[in-house]
Amino acid sequence: MSAGYLLKRLLLAIPTLFGVLVVVFVLLRVVPGDPVTMMVGLTASEEDIARLRELYGFDKPIFTQFLIYLGDVLQGDLGVSITRKQEVLGLILGRLPVTLELSLFAMAVALLGGMMLGVLAVYRPGRGGELVADGFSGLGLAIPDFLWALMFILLFGVLIPLLPISGQIDPRLGFEPASGFYLFESLLIGEFAAFQSVLSHMVLPAVALAIPLAAIIARILKSSLQEVMTQDYILLARARGFSRLRIVLREALQNALIPTVTLSGVQFTFLVGGTVLIERIFSYPGLGNMAIEAVINRDIPLIQGIVLTFAVMFIALNLIIDSTYVLLNPRVRHG
């Protein structure tokens, strides 16, 4: 059943992906007016526009255009960036590891922090633990990641300059990872100076990204733990003389994680989506930063490529969350 469930999810991702392609295509070719004019602005000559039209196939019927686009994408051809004059795919693959690394690190921080707070609130109800958890999740939910980022810049960049607030690594180190994964590779090959620099650059953006997710996880985990703690099997565990910590961690936590995963799953994608702005704020050379540049420069092939890449990442992330759900819940596993 579990393999079947996941297979079904995987197959359902195909129409979603197709829908994404349609939207990406329609978004940038149909609405409203002329994409070429949008790209080159109003100053270009009539001939230039006509030449570009032909070059990008905009003179063909819209359906044909879509088929061509679909064919290209399936072959891994995302077109050429107008401003950078490079293959879009290559540009994206160059930046992707940076964003992935940042997102994964932020997720780990969020999971760890959120779960610790959620458990703390239930383990010590009505006392310091619960108050701290409630206060944190209240603030974390109200303040979006980009405001946290700006506050961190003010705090740790200007008032108490502890951590770097711009870039990904100290450029003087001249560290260029072959894989594109700065943190992993520097650790792997023992470049500790580089590792330290990458890590210190990553802390502020990652924590800013992590706080809203951690707040959501803490809040949902707390309320589902509270719900689970009233169940008969928990009463029974108490009636068996298990200690409270053991009950919370071994009997209740897994049950409470099931709704937590379901309800906070979408927030993981929001975290990844948040990198767009956070990277911009911290001048972090990732995919999101490039996306905003592309929007400002009206580099349509690049925008399409990046939006598509994010969509694929989101779909993959949702699949991973689904499999976590399957792992946690024996009912789905054995259905």
Residues from 17 through 46 that contact other proteins (CB under 8 A)? 17, 19-20, 23, 27-28, 31-32, 38
Residues of this chain, 280-319, that bind other proteins according to CB under 8 A: 280-281, 288, 291-292, 295, 298, 303, 306-307, 310-311, 314-315, 318
Largest separation between any pair of C-alpha atoms in the chain: 85
Contacts of 82 (CB under 8 A, 6+ apart): 39, 297, 298, 299, 300, 301, 302
| Closer by beta carbon to other proteins, 90 or else 125 | 125
In the complex, minimum distance from the CB of residue 238 to other proteins, in angstroms, rounded to a whole number: 5
Scan residues 114-133 and list those touching other proteins (CB under 8 A).
125-126
Cα within 13 Å of Cα(158), Cβ side: 7
- For other proteins, the binding residues in 218-237 under the rule CB under 8 A are 230-233, 235-237
Q: Which of 102, 119, 133, 153 binds other proteins (CB under 8 A)?
A: 153
Those residues with Cβ within 8 angstroms of residue 190's Cβ, 6 or more apart along the chain or in another chain: none
Window 165 to 184, contacts with other proteins (CB under 8 A): none
Number of residues that bind other proteins (CB under 8 A): 79
The residue within the footprint of other proteins, chosen from 129, 180, 273, 285 (CB under 8 A), is 273
Which residues 6+ apart lie within 8 Å of 142 measured at CB? none
Q: How far apart are CA 52 and CA 289, in angstroms?
A: 27
Q: How far is the CB of 211 from other proteins (least distance, A)?
A: 13
Residue 277 as a binder of other proteins (CB under 8 A): the answer is yes
Select 86 or 283, whichever has its Cβ closest to other proteins. 283
Query: DSSP H helical segments within the chain, as ranges?
Result: 2-29, 35-40, 46-55, 62-74, 88-123, 128-142, 145-152, 182-188, 192-229, 232-239, 244-246, 253-281, 287-297, 300-328, 330-334
240 binds other proteins (CB under 8 A): yes
> Rg of the chain's alpha carbons, rounded to an integer?
24
Q: How far is the CB of 273 from other proteins (least distance, A)?
A: 3
